[in-house]
Amino acid sequence: MRPTIDRNHHTKPNQRPANLNIKRRTLLKGLAGAGILSAASVDQAFAETSAPLRVVLIPLQHGWGHGSDLCEQISGSEFDFNLPSIWSPFEKLRDQLLVIDGLRGTFWGNAHDVSYADLFTAGVPYKAAEKRDTLGGPFPGSTSASIDYLLEEHYGKGTLRFSARYHSFGASHHPLSFNHRQQSLPFYTQAYDAYNSLYASTPSATSKTGNAGIILAELFPYLSNDVAKQLQNLNVTQQDKLLSYLDASESLQKKLASAASSTAPTPGSSAQLSSIPDKKQSINESLDSYFDMIKVSFTNDTQRVAVLGIGDRNNQFQWTDSEGNSHSGYSDYTGDFHHNIAHYKGKPEDARRINDAWTKHYASKVADFAESLRSTIDIDGNTLLDNTIIVLTGEVGDGNHGRWNKPHIVIGGGDRLKRGDRKMGRWLNVPKINVAAAGTEDSSGMFVSIQDDADWRSGVAAQFTHADLWTKIGQLSGLSMTSFGIPSMNTQALDI
Amino acid sequence: MFESQCSSCHGELGIGAAFQELYECDICGDESALYTAILTTMPVPTASDCGEECSAALASYIYNDFLAAPGTLDTSDQSCQEQGKLSPPQLRRLTSREYKATIVSVFGDIFPDTAWPSFGDALPTLGMSNNANLLSINSLNFESIYMSVDVIVETLLTSEHDLGTCLDTETPEQCIKRPHKEYGAALWRRPLTAEDRKPLDASLARLAAAGGSPLDQMAFDLKALLLSPNFLYRHEIGKETEGISELDSYEIASLLSYSIIGGPPDQKLMWAAAKNELVNPADIEKHVARLIESQEFGQQLLEFYKDFLKVDNILTVPKQEHLNLTSSMRDALLKSIELSIESEVGDLDQPLMAAINSNNFFVNDLIAPLFGLTSDSLSGELALTEVSIEERNGLLTHPAFLTTHSKEGSSGIVRRGLFTLLQMSCQELGAPPEVLTEAALPVDMDPDTTSSRELLHLRHSSQAECSVCHKTIDPAGFGYENFDALGRYRTIEKDVVPIDASGSLTLGAETLNFSNSVEFTGALMSSNTLKACLTKRYFERFSGASLKQSSCENKKLQASTLSETATIRDIIQSISQLESLRLRGNQQ
């Protein structure tokens, strides 16, 4: 008898995803005839029931805005408001925007280090121990899985995880995504590698030596049994290593099965990559490739969730100094973006100007990506952007470590984010609360008051939290969930 | 509580990191006095962080632990097992070097470059890169391993290798199970048991029933062996009895072999394991003595030193364009420091620190300017070259090391200082303040004519929340100030500003005083702190685990190897005689 494997020995019951229940639907066959969808897309669409919601999470190192400063720059009413200048690239998508002017993140310890693991999990308890050994840096670990992983499980398809130089402390990528065993999930750090793995070098179900099909039919069950036998003799930490192996093995098995039944995209048509990344891409080219891969994967429905972390090491943007001179990049100004630019407060005016230009540069890239989704027709006849929610977030709200009011921008989603008879183009002016007496859970799950903790500064913060947002995103995607992460991070009052 | 509240300044062992050594505490008096001192003054700068309960607990701990039992070394007769402080069992995924070494050792050097997978491992900037908890198999690298195995199997079955010609010369029955019968034990570093063979045989039978050819069956057999966790992970698990796991002889053979020569156990080790000899310390000592004489041990030592100094990062560390650090120069710098290390690793009867002290500098025309030499008399070949002893002293003054740890466009006082303290001296520092503020310079001060050292002090280190740690970090960086971002020797910066590379650095009980970089690196390389840390890092690389300074096994090792005369040979033998080579605890 095949040994049974308990993969989620750390999982709390309320974190388990609900089963997906999608009905079969009629496809728009004409799309294929018109050359809008590839044959592979149509084949996959036939197997689908309704257009699924796709989700793209885009954390930007140091955040997407100026925290409370930026929130003060937004004025007007819910459907008639001004966008701060650094977000001006989103003007062309105004009818697709939901601007949330502040969500509260966890607030203890060194801002960046704590927040990486907390950003998509809301699951890092108060003063959690660093997991330098397994996370590659001084990062505390999460106690729960990340939202992208829950969605990945829910959809039964892999998640695209890309890091465009979003890293530090020698780790090749920040620990953002976690499974139920609290293991950090890997990111592609080079578009070239991602392309090779996702498209070019897809393991083949054929082989020059032997009949690969019948070999594989025996191979994977053999490996699973091998792991199951070994698990019995290991402690939890070592079991996790083999369970990660098992996950990887099964992921490959699915991929091989998929490769055997579909055609991998190649450049040249609407649902295929516009170009093949090479090894020496610039950061901007690499970013374009990542967006391209997300679009193609969503169009072909090979993946439905993507995480794209964007880091600060990029000199390919333009800015104008306070005397009106134009510059390319920041390296002539400083070699230390983090301390001399992102921490712009108290610095010369040019530091803020560089920070603004840098943020605006990426806003422009995201806006172009969203536009490309809007110009793609999905299997239900709506645009791909209507069936995709893009969330812009960050480990902090701004470069000055603000985590009380982290601005978020939600793009797309179509009718899913309908409010009354209005769809998007909305500003959610989040109420503020005083959190002087705030508390949270420690690693044992006990609620602790931390108002006297020097690291937990009292102040005015957003009423809602990023956990609230991830709960909503999960619900919109069909997950049965009412809360997310640790209990104190849930207000259950965010209405998007 | 001590770790979170005290160790960042006083050190994990109370021997001082950024602040006072607890053994020299002049405000302690008795436990009561210590309680009052902590309550009213600790931790700096926010004493309110530790209230009455916290202060009482810490006073009791410090008074009854550190002060009653001075010294950092565990010289007691009580074993780590008796103390309940054995290291835990672990699985260690093969590193990329170990993976290749194993395949080549078992099948021969017959594979194309495409046979080797990309593991995509993150290279930590601190600690050792073969930490078993960092080496994972995940959905990304497993694909690469799978494709690697495809190439290996194809190469084997289509080449002149014994497995490739088998079906031409022998019967299918003789060939089908040959992979696991003849190569299984070498690949898994232990004999296959009946329980191992049963599912393999069953799969082969099903494969045949499904119409699989003998070639299919051989391919399956090989893939099953190579993709199995038994191949991809080294086992240091053992068999548990009453909370203690004893590694078996085969596990010990692998541990010794991979850690000392970087590859799988040779025939002698496997025979010794088969006879269950490797549970005896004397037999272990005999095999260690043999293994460290091999050429592969020298290569392993080279990899250790590079990992300790993190100089492989020279190939990718970002530098500003105006510095013109080309790919060819980066390659040459790495090769140069490798040659410096290699020139010292042959003699096992010298201290582990000898390679760090190496003054054998290898220079070619590309990197000559970084050493202050003209390229006229040099060729493209790296050659042993004399450099000024007034300017350079050991590997810590090698441009490869200095460039790796400088900032993108400047020397990087804090960056070099942090690396020196955290990685090379095994010191602990607290986390930086939540919000880093920067003081304004005096209005009449021109940054272009002020030293980087002075600017750092005025803007940053002089501030109360920064000074506690920076008074240790900064001197560790000042000591390299005679070298710019590319490791070029200098006595002035910004064209006119004199360099001041003097300072006083406190490392535990030691204080290093220096007036320039040559004196600094000399003092550092002679310090017991650096020697002890180098030994600890070697032990970490050997064991694939990150060790606390206070871990029982580390203290035992330090006790036996800190003498002036301890050699590389002594250290390896000491490690091989530690309990943790054979025993593991299951505290978790």
The string of pLDDT tens digits covering residues B557-584 is 888 776 777 899 999 999 999 988 899 9
Hey, are the CB atoms on B139 and A247 less than 8 Å from each other?
Answer: yes
Strand, helix or coil for residue A181:
coil
Cα–Cα distance measured from residue A332 to residue B341, given in angstroms and rounded to the nearest whole number = 36
Min Cα separation B215/chain A (Å): 6
For chain B, how are helix, strand and coil distributed in percent, rounded to 5? 55, 5, 40
Question: A400 vs B435: CB contact, 8 Å cut-off?
Answer: yes
Long-range Cβ contacts of B67-74 (<8 Å, 24+ apart):
B67/B22, B67/B23, B67/B25, B67/B28, B70/B23, B72/B13, B72/B15, B72/B549, B72/B555, B72/B558, B73/B555, B73/B558, B73/B559, B73/B562, B74/B552, B74/B555, B74/B556, B74/B559
Across the interface, do B230 and A236 touch by the CB < 8 Å criterion?
no
ipTM: 0.85
Cβ atoms < 10 Å from Cβ of A426: 21
In chain B, what residues touch A113 (CB-CB under 8 Å)? Answer: 431
Q: Which of B139, B408, B432 sits opposite A248 (nearest CB)?
A: B139
Return the DSSP state at B425: S
Write out chain A residues lying below 8 Å of B232, CB-based: 245
Average pLDDT across chain B, whole number:
88
User: B480-531, pLDDT tens digit by residue?
Assistant: 999 999 999 999 999 999 999 999 998 877 899 999 999 999 999 999 999 9
Average pLDDT of A62-90? 83
Interface test with B, best of A149, A178, A198, A211 (most B CBs within 10 A): A211
Rounded to a whole number, what is the distance in Å from the CA of B43 to chain A's nearest CA? 12
Q: Say yes or no for a CB contact (<8 Å) between B157 and A209.
A: yes
Chain segment B353-387, per-residue pLDDT in tens = 999 999 999 999 999 999 999 988 889 999 999 99
Q: What is the mean pLDDT of residues A143-150?
A: 96
Nearest CA in chain B to A226: B228
Amino acid at B448: D
Measured between CA atoms, how close is A172 to chain B, in angstroms?
5
Q: What are phi and psi of B160, to 5 degrees?
A: -85, 5
Contact B137 A452 (CB under 8 A): no
Residue-wise over B220-238: b if at least 16 C-beta within 10 A, else e?
Answer: bbbbbbbbbbbbbbbbbbb
* Closest CA in chain B for residue A198: B140
Q: For residue A161, list its beta bridge partners.
A: A307
Token output for B178: 């040959």
Percent of chain A whose pLDDT exceeds 70: 80
Of B137, B147, B153, the CB nearest to A244: B137
Return the exposure string of B329-359: e unless at least 16 CB atoms fall within 10 Å of the residue's CB, then b. bbebbbebbbbbbbebbeebeebbbbbbbbb
pLDDT, position A173: 80
- Burial level of A291, CB count in 10 A (0-12/13-18/19+)? buried
The HSE-up count of residue A70 (CA atoms within 13 Å, CB side) is: 31
**Beta carbons of B142 and A233 less than 8 Å apart:** no
Spatial distance between the Cα atoms of B466 and B188, rounded to a whole number of angstroms: 52
* Interval B184-224: pLDDT, tens: 999 999 999 999 999 999 999 999 999 999 999 999 999 99
pLDDT tier at A266 (50, 70, 90 boundaries)?
very low
Spatial distance between the Cα atoms of A334 and A341, rounded to a whole number of angstroms: 8
Report the DSSP beta bridge partners of residue A310: A60, A164
| Rounded mean pLDDT, B263-270 | 97
**From CA B381, how far away is CA B367, in angstroms rounded?**
11
Alpha helices in A272-348 (DSSP H): 283-299, 337
The reply to whether residue B93 touches residue A241, judged by beta carbons under 8 angstroms, is: yes
- The whole-model pTM stands at 0.83
Q: How far is B138 from chain A (nearest CA, A)?
A: 5
Q: Which residue has the higher pLDDT, A223 or A441?
A: A223
Whether pLDDT at B71 is above 70: no
What residues in B contact A455, CB-CB < 8 Å?
434
pLDDT of residue A27: 29
Q: Kind of pairing, strands A388-393 and A97-103?
A: unpaired
Tokens 């230009």 belong to which residue?
Answer: A357
Q: A151 to each of A492, B84, B462, how far by Cα in Å?
A: 19, 43, 49
Residue type, B493: E
